[in-house]
Amino acid sequence: MQFTPEILPNLINTVAEVIEKNSEEVTALDQAIGDGDHVINLQRGIGALLEQSAELAELKWTQAIQKIGMTLLSTMGGASGSLFGTLFISMAKAKNDNNILNQHELSVIYALGVEAVKKRGKSDVGEKTMLDVLIPVAECFKKDVDASVEFPKLLENICLTAEKGMESTRDMIATKGRASYMEEKSLGHIDAGARTSQLMICAIADVIGTEKK
């Protein structure tokens, strides 16, 4: 399947809607073990992207992904802004010059973006962060692309992997971020960043699945 940046307004709108729909739940998760401002920061970044969505659709993929990263970095603030900014900026650096994006190239640049997030956050799977979703999804994505799994099944597997990764944070002790101060008290709570990552990944998969070319 191949996509052009014309898909971006739909992707951004869908992400905005799913975060708004689940904002109370995620805020409660964040208030339990974090600062409680994760959704506010995330929506600030998404709001900035909504304002730019028409412009982004006219850019080449490399420019669009870079602009998304820089916008999130400058508008979200805090650790989340730095990490999401790093994700997209690193993906932009890995994208080739053509203006078509297929599942193979997306799996490659996404994995490189996630690797950059790991380095920036000095974190990995098992530390109760959004990486408990991002890393398994990157591994699942690459595995299915390499195995030539049919695209609808590939997207289904990505969503299931994201959900499993998000749920896994419930039984973890946080070792990064504000939640790490709670130590064992962080047990029993889903990480807010893992939840929003899962929501956004599944929302993006839904859009891609219905707008495939």
Distance CA 173, CA 164 (A): 17
How much is the pLDDT for 25? Answer: 96
Kindly report the CATH number assigned to the domain that includes residue 189.
Answer: 1.25.40.340
Summarize the confidence of residues 164-183 as an average pLDDT.
80
Confidence of residue 70 (pLDDT cuts 50, 70, 90): very high
How much is the pLDDT for 213? Answer: 45
Query: Would the pTM of this model clear 0.95, i.e. be above it?
Result: no
How much is the pLDDT for 13? Answer: 98
Distance CA 26, CA 36 (A): 9
Residue with tokens 């905005």: 16
* Number of domains into which the chain is organized: 1
How much is the pLDDT for 22? Answer: 98
Summarize the confidence of residues 188-194 as an average pLDDT.
92
Q: What is the pLDDT of residues 116-141, one digit of tens each?
A: 999 998 999 999 999 999 999 999 99
Mean pLDDT of the chain: 92
Dihedral pair phi/psi, residue 59, rounded to 5°: -85, 170
Contact 118, 171 (CB under 8 A): no
Secondary structure (H, E, C), the chain? CEECHHHHHHHHHHHHHHHHHCHHHHHHHHHHHCCCCHHHHHHHHHHHHHHHHHHHHHCCHHHHHHHHHHHHHHHHCHHHHHHHHHHHHHHHHHCCCCCCEEHHHHHHHHHHHHHHHHHHHCCCCCCCCCHHHHHHHHHHHHHHHHCCCCHHHHHHHHHHHHHHHHHHHHHCCCCCCHHHHHHHHHCCCCCHHHHHHHHHHHHHHHHHHHCCC
Q: What is the pLDDT of residues 71-90, one digit of tens each?
A: 999 999 778 899 999 999 99
Distance CA 103, CA 1 (A): 6
Secondary structure (H, E, C), 88-103? HHHHHHHCCCCCCEEH
How much is the pLDDT for 43? Answer: 96
How much is the pLDDT for 23? Answer: 97
pLDDT over threshold 60, residue 212: no
Residue span of the structural domain in which 125 resides: 2-210
